[in-house]
Amino acid sequence: MNKCNFYIFLLPFLCLLVVGCSKAPVTFVEVAPIIYKNCSNCHRPNQSGPFSLLSYSDCRNKAATIKYTVETRFMPPWPADYTYQHYIGEKYLTVAEINRICNWVDDGALMGDSDKIPAPPHFYAHSMLGKPDLVVKATPFFIKGDKHERFIMMKIPFENVADTFIRAIEFVTNNKKLVHHVNGHLLNYLPHQTTNLYKPPFVIDRDTAYEIAESFHNLNLTANDGSEPAFIGSVTNYLPGMETLIFPDGIGTYKVNKHAALLLRDIHYGATTVDTWDSSYFNIFYADKPPKRPTIERQLGTLGISQITPPLVVRPNKIDTFRTQATLPVDISLLTINPHMHLIGKSFWAYAVKPNGDTIPIIRIPKWDFRWQYFYTFKTMLKIPKGATIYVVGVYDNTANNPNNPFYPPREIREPVGGNMKTTDEMFQLIMTYLPYQKGDENISLQNP
Ligand code: HEC
């Protein structure tokens, strides 16, 4: 081959090399699937995100902040360490996805071929889960701007077309800033027991903690003949950032009568300086079958089955560590966990050690964030055998360097003895939802089809 022929021979390879190196700019065609999958369910009207990310122009307008928030992993919010344990719906971007978004912004946030941009997903406007079977409105509540935290109890009667079953009750509020938590129970009435159900009071501003029995009396929940409705505890819960769960068919569903009520033993509003309203509602999703396996809920730590050592008193200007643990008397299948701390939480770690010494990772949150308190559901049921010990370690930062410290200068922060937990008090809990173990559970997916 002479010299000239040799170059002609090389030419196609050189061309390939040049084309390969001068990459085409990243366009929205490649970025849209990442945004729609990881961001849009919150960034749409009526949901928590402060603006929508549902179209090219939505994203182009926010391109610089999108780049910043994904690079720093501020968005999507996912405080759990995704290298430690996996959960359903986990929200984190791979390094490749982060790079793709950043390159898109650096390349000028171009649209690309509009025909190739996928359509944004279809969402139901007033729910994170889809279209509910029934919407039950809570009594609108006026929150006075007097800088006081409030602990409200409510009775919310509702009627179903017939006796049936419920899969999930999702709490939705228009006042995400002030609703700190909700804990609701279900009351099932027989027709003759409804004599007082629709009589006031519906709302009580409770300054002190009521026992359930007292709330029956104070909210007029008992029938004229003195009989009480059937009670199912903790059917609906809400914490900042949380999404309601729906387990696969047959797990964790419960019965609901035609005549029923929600008893919010606790709806906790934070303090504010401005008068405002909360108009909350509950989305109810029915199940067509009775529960095959009702779930059990227990918590370690504050108000739970295990003590905290040392007692939860966080000294001013200190970073203190607390522990709690429990040994299982039976095999369980763990479905969901909810780690809970308040403002000065710094990190949270839970794991189990089996009798043979093996460790089962449960959750690690390296940087606690009060705003994102998910109920983390395992991808498949997590078996923890009889005799295993669950260990929970919580670190609290009560120094002036903690920007979330509610007090300056720092002062002692503790778990209150009895009474209500204010946001500025502390808590240390691992809430667990589980089933008694059955053979093969570890292969059962908790993902809804
Ligand atoms: C679980 C709900 C949720 C998800 C998922 C989510 N966001 Fe957000 N996002 C929020 C909320 C709430 C805020 C307001 C946060 C605040 O003010 O502290 C926010 C704020 C932002 C901001 C503004 C930050 C600022 O400082 O102004 C950007 C940009 C953003 N999100 C982008 C994204 C992107 C990109 C994704 C996906 C990769 C995403 N978000 C996923 C709820 C969410």
* pLDDT, block means (10 residues), the chain with 449 residues: 50 46 86 96 87 97 98 95 94 96 98 96 88 95 92 94 94 88 94 95 77 81 94 87 82 93 90 94 92 90 96 98 98 96 97 98 96 92 98 98 95 83 90 96 87
Q: How far is CA 57 from the centre of its chain?
A: 29
Same domain, 400 and 302: yes
- State which of 51, 74, 75 you would mutate to test the pocket of ligand 1, scoring each by most atoms of that ligand within 8 A of its C-beta: 75
Query: Tell me, what's the pLDDT at 46?
Result: 80
Asked if residue 263 lies in contact with residue 215, where contact means CB atoms within 8 angstroms, the answer is yes
Q: Does 125 reside within a domain? A: no
351, 428, 268, 187: CA torsion to nearest 10: 60
Query: Tell me, what's the pLDDT at 216?
Result: 83
Structural domain count of the chain:
3
Tell me, using a 6 A CB cutoff, whether residue 138 lines ligand 1: no
Same domain, 109 and 155: no
Tell me, using a 6 A CB cutoff, whether residue 294 lines ligand 1: no
Same domain, 232 and 266: yes
| Degrees, nearest 5: CA angle 340-333-324 | 35
Same domain, 195 and 267: yes
State the Cα–Cα distance between residues 221 and 230, nearest whole angstrom: 11
Residue 351 CA to ligand 1 center (angstroms) comes to: 30
Residues present in the chain in total:
449
State the Cα–Cα distance between residues 74 and 92, nearest whole angstrom: 10
Residue 49 CA to ligand 1 center (angstroms) comes to: 5
Same domain, 78 and 178: no
- Peptide bond before residue 409 is cis, with ω within 30 degrees of 0: yes
Tell me, using a 6 A CB cutoff, whether residue 67 lines ligand 1: no
State the Cα–Cα distance between residues 371 and 361, nearest whole angstrom: 23
Query: Tell me, what's the pLDDT at 332?
Result: 98
Last residue in a domain, options 279, 294, 309: 294
Domain span including residue 406: 297-443
State the Cα–Cα distance between residues 333 and 340, nearest whole angstrom: 21
Q: Does 7 reside within a domain? A: no
State the Cα–Cα distance between residues 194 and 208, nearest whole angstrom: 28
Tell me, using a 6 A CB cutoff, whether residue 173 lines ligand 1: no
Query: Tell me, what's the pLDDT at 19?
Result: 45
Query: Tell me, what's the pLDDT at 18?
Result: 43
Query: Tell me, what's the pLDDT at 20?
Result: 46
State the Cα–Cα distance between residues 259 and 163, nearest whole angstrom: 8
Tell me, using a 6 A CB cutoff, whether residue 32 lines ligand 1: no
Query: Tell me, what's the pLDDT at 419?
Result: 63
CATH number at residue 405: 2.60.120.230
